[in-house]
Structure 1
Amino acid sequence: MSNEIKFDKRNYRRHGDKNKQLIKKSLDELGAGRSIVIDNDGEIIGGNGVFEAWGNKPVKVIESDGSELVVVKRTDLSTNDEKRKKLAVMDNTTSDTSTFDMKLLKADFDIPTLDELGVELKIKDELGVEKPEVEFTEELLEEHNYVVLYFDNSVDWLQAQSLFDLKQVQALNSKEGFRKIGVGRVLKGNVALEKLRKHFSGE
């Protein structure tokens, strides 16, 4: 049966050496935990790394249309077993140590879709340091000196967005799976003054 299963030709997940070693260690010492998923053509949807490490050992395929949750019951493990506890940890570490192939993802999906799918997008700044694709808003602290501008019509507000180059940012209380994104309304004073200087000098 395993010879009928094919690796995903566009696997969105990268498996480095450490990740492959952990997967093999988990399978060799603790046995199979989660099942992998294949499509109707036998191509793997999720679990390429596990299938590769599993090798030629026995494989059992359960057919499903996705309307029922397939639960793997490990009859050899009890709740307090040391082996069971290790499997609970390695079930997560084997996933955490793999990464997404961002080039492949961005080739197949647009950024809003990737955001909906929970993929954390990152870019690199001038120093090569990774940062979120959508930056967090500036924080206004009590010790800061500030002025407040308000706009009672959309024309002036649009001009302000253009003049100050206001971008979409994340709220500071955003969290994984629940990101609040909107126009950034807190701007550092020196940045605002520099933009005004350039505007009025015609630069």
Structure 2
Amino acid sequence: MHALRTALTAALAAAGLGLATAPPTPAAAAPATARTGPVFLDAAQLPPSLTPWTAGAVTGGLPEGDVPCAPGVLPAKGTAHRVFHTELDTGGLQVTTVAPTAAKAAETAAGLRRALAACADRVERQYPTTEADGAYHGRLAVEDGAHVYSLDTRDLQVGSTDIALFSVGRDGRTVTYVQWGQMGDLEDAPLDAFKTTTRTAVDQLHR
């Protein structure tokens, strides 16, 4: 079963809040296109998993269903994304956008942070049978800074639980968003490894 295909996450996806899920295709990593913009994470740079990560191609524009927990914040222009998945219930996503100025990029990063901080409240308002707990896990000292968040959800009708980790980082005019998710709770999430992934993502944007 691909990542996070629960009744809750299907509903959240329809509302633009869904957690990234794996595409139904390739068993092998798709080759990266020739780089004309910021560098993206590769499969080996994601938190360790019981089965290998597969990285999709870097694709221009926003991901299908927009950015999990932050719909409407990023523009399609100047934006690209990459989806990751494993053979088990784990998925990931990186979305990167290049703004016209560093000031605009800082504004975009702040908008993503506000959306992530408010995601749990938004989920509970839209889905009364869902409990959602969001948490902020601090700032990382890399380039112009990165910030890490989590969202822990429980569907009270089905009894399923999902956990997602998110980060937002900036290097000059470039903002990157990274998401990891699987079924389970925050205690099951590789928070330290995700912070390492985030540092790597931001540090290598313009290597």
Report if TM-score (shorter chain) is over 0.5: no
Q: Which has the higher strand share?
A: 2
Q: Point out the structure with max Rg over C-alpha.
A: 1
> Higher RCO, 1 or 2 (CA under 8 Å, sep at least 6)?
2
Give the TM-score of the pair, scaled to structure 1.
0.22
Q: Which has the higher helix share?
A: 1
